[in-house]
Structure 1
């Protein structure tokens, strides 16, 4: 069934929630709306696809720190590690065209990579976070904000022998590994590849790497994060020394001097290309991308990924803890699953810091995207929010399949060929 009229859409939405939704998802909508009870809690958006069709596209709250600007249909959030799922999907699109093979050594595509024990590392090992290249190895803030410098650094880096061959989450380096690989086979950087390989074929403006340009319909929400600039001299003395240790785990993969400042103010982090962390996405665009994956690679009558490619994206569950973050995530070809607790969130995708997520469950045809702009606020459980929403979404989706459901119209801006001559 299709064609939800305006009256039916409005009746299904809680107070303050905008957009459109099938009535079967009333429980999900109530849960979503309660995440944003006032101006201090920012805003966010949720979109759900079922069998390649949009059934929920809603948003609520505020996109700025002062709570004066409402979240809109084209507000995007910086989605942190959800960006890794976007970058991985670019690589899968290139693999579909025969440009990349997962079991080929990376150095065959990117010769500069094949040094210091890395000559035999395959694309698959990179995408499974098993390459032993997670540490930043003392990079400065200026280096980290220069994507070409970082691609050169990860290509020249030595393997961490304690981590190689084991899943050890590459919190930031994963993105430059993917962009270096993508550049080696196409001559283009990941910012352009995300637009050309994802946003354009999906006909959505809502996928950007870094800050959307001034002429783009998508606008990045401000991050609700502590804005204090008080320095901690003890931390500043100890932190780089701890990060330099080979056993520093997650800290060594994320710490760089000035890491707090890049997400304050007007968010300098957004003016770089960090394909593991600074994507700006709308919930709708993430749900559409994962909606194609959950639907055999097909969306709106177009084959976004081949059926064979999509079938290979579901990996085996692993209960071994990741060696950097110490929880099992079961990475396979760039996406992760949640094997613990069993059955809570079937499928795979990628979550990000603070709880934004893009997710697909090919076994049921369900996909969703959830984004928001809170970071390290009083809502300390933000990181787990997506799992709770996932439970509600699955229940409502099961009801929709039993009863039948209505699709919702496309409420966001279509693909727009942006110019980066003027920064946004």
Structure 2
């Protein structure tokens, strides 16, 4: 473990979250000005297994921020153009009135292709990237896309991955390796975990839902309600239970089945918060990170979420403490995991866990926003008092 003296309060709060086996386990990593200042873990990866330094956690929509970072690398290098039509790279995509949909539209959830329910016949089909990509290419977009964003809960990653594959002629997992893992010197970015690494994966629990009512049962009664039809269409029956099983680790679904360490996520967002640099490794030019950080308002309303998350270039505005702030961005995942960059402080925070949310509502919780607020306070205190004690390392 690594704990910088200036961030001991953050570490102390983290450790209180995993005192009992019933609380599962997790990991927290913080980078300041591109250098690690916290790398800690605690709790249980499974009922019979402690969380370790290399434990991986499936992190749901945290995945979208990683997929977006790969896309932004390709944009910076000129392989993709942000405002080019998707059909430039993927000709079949132009079908059914989609010829003018751009790469930017995909990254800001304005492609109108959020519908996954009924898109393909079976769950096996849903787990096959090529089948879903072909169905999306043939689909007609939701006309609401012209008025607002519509969160692509499942399909975002498929769209990003297919555009990247068409533009490069390479498998997305290979692109992930060359555009992210190798530049950062960290291999723990997985969309589909190889069998030789699956012993490292934390076991997720409990089922996703509210008040112990499963996700499918929870949303089924709202099917006739017009205002909720778009939200229901963005997930498929069986998704919630599937996601806590083993089958997602065979698939490549960069919208939700990304499996990471907190360390890998914090290093990535550390570069985004530090003019493109993580230590001596450059991920982006400073101009790119500045453009991402500006994040213009994308939509005042999202017709799937019923909120205004303000998407830009694949990320969304982040909650730090209790506030959605324009000074931080990243991507949260259902259940509590996520990563945040705060460029003004040169700070990144990543948290992964196998214990999904609160006992009453497993869809999300306050752990990452709370830890982010504490880390920001520590970083600002350190900046105001540069003579504070140096970092120390603690083995464990």
Q: Give the TM-score, by structure 2 length.
A: 0.89
Where in structure 2 are the equivalents of 1:83-98 lying within 5 Å? 83-98=63-78
Q: Distance in 2 between matches of 1:275 and 1:396?
A: 33
- Are the counterparts in 2 of residues 359 and 369 from structure 1 also a CA contact under 8 Å? yes
Q: CA deviation at 1:344?
A: 5.4
| 3-state SS in 1 of match to 2:352 | strand
* Change over 3 Å in CA distance of 1:105–1:411 after alignment to 2: farther
Output one character per residue of 1:121-148: Cα deviation in whole Å (capped at 9) or x when no partner: 1111111111111111403211111111
Partner of 2:22: helix, strand, or coil?
helix
User: Which residue is equivalent to 1:396?
Assistant: 378
Runs of 5+ unmatched residues, structure 1: 1-18, 413-424
**Is residue 336–residue 348 contact of structure 1 (8 Å, CA) maintained in 2?**
yes
- 1:203-244: CA deviations, max 9, x gaps? 112211122x2344982111112399xxx9xx77x9499399
Deviations 1:99-133 (A, max 9, x none): 11101111111111111111011111111111111
Equivalent runs, 1:328-347 vs 2, <5 Å: 328-338=308-318, 342=323, 346-347=327-328
Alignment partner of 1:146 out of 105, 115, 128: 128
Q: Deviations over 1:141-178 (max 9, x none)?
A: 11111111111111111011133441111101101100
- Per the alignment, do residues 408 and 330 of structure 1 end up closer, same or farther by CA in structure 2, a change over 3 Å counting? farther
| TM-superposition CA deviations, 1:303-339 (whole Å, max 9, x none) | 2111121111121246723211112211000000047
Instruction: Name structure 2 gaps, 5 residues minimum.
Output: none
Matched-pair contact (CA < 8 Å) for 2:222–2:228: no
Q: Distance in 2 between matches of 1:214 and 1:103?
A: 38
Higher helix proportion (structure 1 or 2): 2
Matched, 1:353 2:334: yes
What does residue 190 of structure 2 align with? 208
RMSD value over aligned CA atoms? 3.0
Give the corresponding residue for 2:350: 369
Offset of residue 377 of structure 1:
5.2
Task: For 1:111-150, list aligned pairs within 5 A.
Answer: 111-138=91-118, 139=120, 140-150=122-132
2:286 to 298, 307, 312: 307
**Matched residues in 2 for 1:46 and 1:239: separation?**
35
> Match for 1:172 among 154, 171, 183?
154
Contact 2:85 2:102 in 1 (8 A): yes
Q: Which residue of 1 aligns with 2:21?
A: 39
Greater Cα shift, 136-145 or 187-196 = 187-196
Q: Which residue of 2 aligns with 1:282?
A: 261
Q: Deviations over 1:263-315 (max 9, x none)?
A: 34x42122211110000100000000010111101122232111121111121
Q: Are the counterparts in 2 of residues 118 and 158 from structure 1 also a CA contact under 8 Å? A: yes
Whether the 8 Å contact between 2:148 and 2:300 is mirrored in structure 1 is no
Query: Which ranges of 4 or more aligned residues in structure 1 deviate by more than 6 Å?
Result: 243-246, 408-412
User: Structure 1's 336 and 218: CA in aligned 2 closer, same or farther, altered over 3 A?
Assistant: farther
The structure 2 residue matched to 1:100, chosen from 80, 85, 88, is 80
* Preserved contact between residue 45 and residue 60 of structure 1 (Cα < 8 Å): yes
Matched position secondary structure for 1:75? coil
Report if aligned partners of 1:245, 1:252 keep a CA contact under 8 Å in 2. no
Task: Please say if residues 210 and 278 of structure 1, whose CA atoms lie closer than 8 Å, have aligned partners that are also in contact.
Answer: yes
SS of the residue 2:114 aligns to: coil
Hey, what's the Cα distance between the residues in 1 that align with 2:208 and 2:6?
A: 40
Distance 1:321 1:162, change over 3 A: closer
Task: Name the counterpart of 2:167.
Answer: 185
Q: Is the 8 A contact 2:4 2:393 kept in 1?
A: no
3-state SS of 1:205 partner: coil
1:162 aligns to what SS in structure 2?
helix
Q: Which deviates more, 115-124 or 28-37? A: 28-37
Contact 1:74 1:217 in 2 (8 A): no
**What is the Cα deviation at residue 400 of structure 1?**
2.0
1:81 — aligned with what? 61
For residues 21-48 of structure 1, what are the alpha-carbon distances to aligned partners after superposition, in whole Å with 9 as ceiling and x for unaligned? 1111122112211211210111000000
> What SS does structure 1 have at the residue aligned with 2:345?
coil
